[in-house]
Amino acid sequence: MISGIILASGFSRRMERDKLLLDINGMAIIERVIKMVCKSDVDEVIMIYRKEEIREIAKRYGIKTVFNKKAKLGQSEAVKLGIVSSSKDVKGYMFFMGDQPFLKVEAINNIIKVFKSGKYQVVVPIFDGKRGNPVIFSRDLRQQLLNVSGDIGGRGIIQGLGDKVGFVYFNNRKIGMDIDTWEDYLNCREWS
C-alpha cells in the first residue's frame, strides 16, 4: 500500500502570495496536483494543509485532509503529519509537493512501479538531470522521517542510503517543474 501525501501547508515566501491557489488553464495549481494524485496508483491520498481555501478544494475530491498547526516550523512538520495520518498497512510514503502543476499520472505510476520492485528503500525522480518530487520512502524509514526537523524534508536520509536509493529518469523537465517565484508562474503559464 502506498500513501500519497500532498504537502500543501507552506507559506509561499518566495512568491509573496499563495502560489497553490494561482490559476493555470482555469484550475488552481493545487487542484491540478490533487487530480493527478487521485488518478494515480497510490492507495490513499492525504493532504496536509494550512489554508481553508485549499482544504475546500481537496474536499471536492473526497480526500483526507489534515490541518498543519505547526507549519511555521517548516516542511518537516507536514511530512510527520502525513506519516502519522497514513494507514497502518502502508509500505511506502509518497510525498507530493502542492506546486507541481504539470505532474503526470504516468510519471507517478512509474515511480511507484520501481518502488514496488522491492529493490530500493527510496525512489527519487530525475527530471532532465535534476532531482525532483514526488519521492517514495519505505515504511522502514518511518522513524527517521519522524525525526527530521526544519525545512529539509527527507534529503538527509537519502544521502546516507547509498545504493538503497533508486532513480527514475524523465527527459521532460516540465513534468517535475515546481512553482517557487512569480517568474516560474509566468513561465509555466506560457508552457501550458
pLDDT given for residue 88 in this prediction: 92
pLDDT given for residue 160 in this prediction: 78
Cell of 35: 487530480
Tens-binned pLDDT, residue by residue, of the chain (192 aa): 999 999 998 765 555 657 788 888 888 989 999 999 999 999 999 999 988 999 999 999 999 999 999 877 777 888 889 999 999 999 999 999 998 988 999 999 999 999 999 999 999 999 888 888 999 999 999 999 988 876 666 777 888 788 899 999 998 777 877 777 667 666 666 655
pLDDT given for residue 37 in this prediction: 96
Whole-angstrom distance, CA of residue 144 vs CA of residue 152: 13
* Helix (H) / strand (E) containing 94: strand 92-97
Structural domains in the chain? 2-191 (3.90.550.10)
What pLDDT, in 10s, does the model give residues 12-39?
Answer: 555 565 778 888 888 898 999 999 999 9
Instruction: Label residue 14 left, alpha or beta by phi (over 0 means left) and psi (-120 to 50 means alpha).
Output: alpha
Tally of CB atoms within 10 A around 169? 10
Whole-angstrom distance, CA of residue 81 vs CA of residue 70: 10
* Helix (H) / strand (E) containing 122: strand 122-127
